Structure 1
Amino acid sequence: MKIGIITITYNSHEVMAGFLNSLFSQTYTDWHLYVYDNSSEHSVEALLSEYGRPDAYDYVALAHNYGFAVANNLAIRHAISDGCDAVLLINNDTIFQPSLIQGLVESSYEQNAKIIAPKMLHYPEENLIWYGGGYFDPKQALKNIHIGMGSVDDGRFDTPSWHDFAPMCCALIIKDVFEQIGYLDENYFIYYEDVDWMYRAKQQGIKVWYAGNLNLYHKVSSLTGGSKSRFTVYHSTKSKIYFIHKFYKGMSRYYWLVRYFFSLFAGLVIKRYDYREVKVKLQAFVVSKDTKVKYNKKILLYSDSLVFGGHEQMMLHIISSLLKIFDHSLVLVCNKQNKKLIAAASLISNSRLSISLTSVKSKYGQSVRAFFQPIDVFSLVMRLRAINPDLVLVAQGDIELGSKMLLACRLIKKQVYSYIPGAFLPSELKLPLVSIRDFFSRIIYKIPDGFITINNKFLAQLKLLTDNKPVYVLENFVQEPMSSEIRSLDLKLVTIGVVGALTKRKNQRFIIDWLTKTKFKNVRVIFFGEGEDFGVLSALVQKNHLSGRVKFAGLVQEKDVVYRQIDLLVIPSIVEGVPLVMLEAAIRRVPILATDLVGVSDFLSKEMLFAVNDISDFENKLECLIQDHKQLSRMIENNYQKVMSNNLQSSFMVKLEHIFNEILSK
Structure 2
Amino acid sequence: MKIPNVYIIVLNYNNPNETILCLNSLLKVDYPTLNIVIADNASTDSSVEQIKKQFPSLFLLQNKYNKGYAGGMNLGIKYALENNADLILLSNNDMIYPADFLLPLVKALTNEKAVGIVSPKVLYLNDKEKIYCAGGEIKLFRCGGVSMYRNRDEKKYGNKKRDITLAEGACLLVKKVVFVEKGLLSEKYFMYFEDVEFSERISSKFKIKYIPESVVYHKSGAGKTWSEYSPLYYYYFTRNRLLYYSTKNFLINIYVIFFSILNTLSKSILLGIKISTRELGYKNFKKSFSNLWKGLIDGLLYTVKIKKITNDNPILKNKLIQ
TM-score, reference length from structure 2:
0.80
Larger radius of gyration: 1
| Equivalent residue number for residue 287 of structure 1 | 298
| Cα distance, 1:127 vs structure 2 | 1.5
One-letter code aligned to 2:298: V
Q: 1:9 aligns with which of 6, 12, 21?
A: 12
Report SS of the residue matched to 2:31. coil
What is the distance in 2 between the residues matched to 1:46 and 1:266? 42
Give the match's secondary structure for 2:185: coil
Q: CA deviation at 1:17?
A: 2.4
How big is the shift at 1:51?
Answer: 4.3
Which residue identity is paired with 2:54?
E
- Pick the aligned partner of 2:46 from 28, 42, 62: 42
Residue pair 2:12, 2:40 contacting (<8 A) in 1 also = yes
> How many angstroms apart in 2 are the aligned matches of 1:250 and 1:115?
31
1:565-624 residue CA offsets vs partner (Å, 9 max, x unmatched): xxxxxxxxxxxxxxxxxxxxxxxxxxxxxxxxxxxxxxxxxxxxxxxxxxxxxxxxxxxx
SS at match of 2:104: helix
Structure 1 residues 288 and 60 mapped into 2: Cα distance closer, same or farther (>3 Å)?
same
How far apart, in 2, do the equivalents of 1:122 and 1:293 lie? 39
Task: Give distance in 2, aligned partners of 1:253 and 1:74.
Answer: 32
**Larger RCO (CA within 8 A; separation ≥ 6):** 2
CA contact (8 A) 1:226 1:232 kept: no
Q: Tell me whether 1:252 sits opposite 2:252 in the alignment.
A: yes
Deviation for aligned residue 1:249: 2.8
Matched, 1:274 2:272: yes
* CA apart distance, 1:169: 0.8
Deviations 1:231-260 (A, max 9, x none): 2212221222211213x2324313321332
Please tell me the residue identity of whatever aligns with 2:297.
V
Q: 1:226 to 1:220 in 2, by over 3 A?
A: farther
Asked if 1:97 is matched to 2:103, the reply is no
Would the aligned equivalents of 1:94 and 1:218 in 2 still touch at CA under 8 Å?
A: yes
1:198 counterpart letter in structure 2: S
Deviation digits for residues 449-501 of structure 1, max 9, x if unmatched? xxxxxxxxxxxxxxxxxxxxxxxxxxxxxxxxxxxxxxxxxxxxxxxxxxxxx
Question: SS where residue 17 of structure 2 aligns?
Answer: coil
CA RMSD of aligned residues (A): 2.6
Structure 2 CA distance for aligned equivalents of residues 226 and 262 of structure 1: 16
* Aligned residue number for residue 114 of structure 1: 116
Secondary structure of the 2:129 match is coil
Flag the 1:88–1:266 CA change in 2: closer, same or farther, 3 A: closer
CA spacing shift, 1:8–1:279, aligned 2, 3 Å: same
How far off is 1:137 after superposition? 1.1
CA apart distance, 1:279: 4.1
Which residue identity lines up with residue 25 of structure 2 in the other structure? Answer: S
CA distance in 2, matches of 1:227, 1:200: 31
- Report the counterpart of residue 124 of structure 1 in structure 2: 126
1:124 and 1:221, CA in 2 relative to 1: closer, same or farther beyond 3 A? closer
The question of 1:23 aligning with 2:26 is answered: yes
2:217 paired with 1:179: no
2:74 matched to 1:73?
Answer: yes
Q: Percent identity?
A: 23
Sort the Cα spacing of 1:293 and 1:70 in 2 relative to 1 into closer, same or farther, 3 A. farther
Distance change in 2, residues 1:94/1:34 (3 Å): same
Q: Report the residue type matching 2:17 in the other structure.
A: E
Q: CA 1:46–1:256 in 2, change beyond 3 Å: closer, same or farther?
A: closer
One-letter amino acid of the counterpart of residue 2, structure 1: N
Q: Using the alignment, how far apart are the partners of 1:178 and 1:110 within structure 2?
A: 19
Residues 43 and 152 (structure 1), Cα distance of their counterparts in 2 relative to 1, 3 Å cut: same
1:366-377 maps to which residues of 2 (within 5 A)?
A: none
**Deviation, structure 1 residue 289:** 3.5
Residues of 2 paired with 1:109 and 1:82: CA distance? 19
Q: How does 1:3-402 map to 2 (within 5 A)?
A: 3-40=6-43, 41-51=45-55, 54=57, 57-112=58-113, 113-141=115-143, 143-202=144-203, 204-220=204-220, 227-246=228-247, 248-267=248-267, 271-274=269-272, 276=285, 277-291=288-302
Decide whether the 8 Å contact of 2:257 with 2:300 is kept in 1: no
Q: Please, which runs of 5 or more residues in structure 1 have no aligned partner?
A: 295-657, 659-666
The letter for the 1-side match of 2:133 is Y
**Can you give the 5+ residue segments of structure 2 that lack an aligned partner in the other structure?**
274-284, 306-310, 312-322
1:263 Cα deviation after fit: 3.5
Q: CA deviation at 1:205?
A: 4.1
Aligned mates of 1:85, 1:50 — CA distance in 2: 27
Give the residue type in structure 2 aligned to 1:280: N
